[in-house]
Amino acid sequence: MSVQEDSRQKQLKKWQEKLPEEWRQNQLGADTAGIYKEITNVAMATVALEMAQKMDPDLAALKEQVKVANEPYQTGKKTNTMKIEFAVDVLKGRGEDVPSMDVFLSSAAKRMLN
């Protein structure tokens, strides 16, 4: 089985699991104009959902709460990133061959898990 066929099989399985059987069968039996009409209807429903999401006051309040609650973490991460960048720059200025920040972070994560 080619990669393309495998990808297609995965997509078909996803549709079978996530989309109602009746809806899928209706689309398989519909004429081309009917399918275009359904695409338009679903696209309009998607836009309506996006608009409702943007206008949802409860969701907006929750997003603001998350933003405020996240600030200390973001500030701490930014400060720590700058500290590492500065220390790496100092070492590079001394002619050291310093690994990337990802190497330091990966190593730190491994040490914390042990």
Tens digits of per-residue pLDDT, 53-110? 999 999 999 999 999 999 999 999 999 999 999 999 999 999 999 998 899 899 999 9
Q: Give me 75's structure tokens.
A: 């500030």
Q: Is 26 a residue whose pLDDT tops 70? A: yes
Q: Give the torsion sign (CA, 26, 32, 33, 39).
A: positive
Q: Which of 30, 55, 80 is the last residue of a domain?
A: 55
Domain carrying residue 35: 1-55
Distance (Å, whole) CA 86 – CA 28 = 60
The residue whose two tokens read 């709460």 is: 65
Same domain, 71 and 49: no
Are residues 71 and 34 part of one domain?
no
* Count of domains forming the chain: 2
Q: Nearest-CA neighbor of 104 among 88, 82, 92, 86?
A: 88
- Considering the domain architecture, whether residues 15 and 51 belong to the same structural domain is answered as yes
88 close to 98: Cβ distance less than 8 angstroms: yes
pLDDT of res. 62 = 97
* Whether 74 and 95 share a structural domain: yes
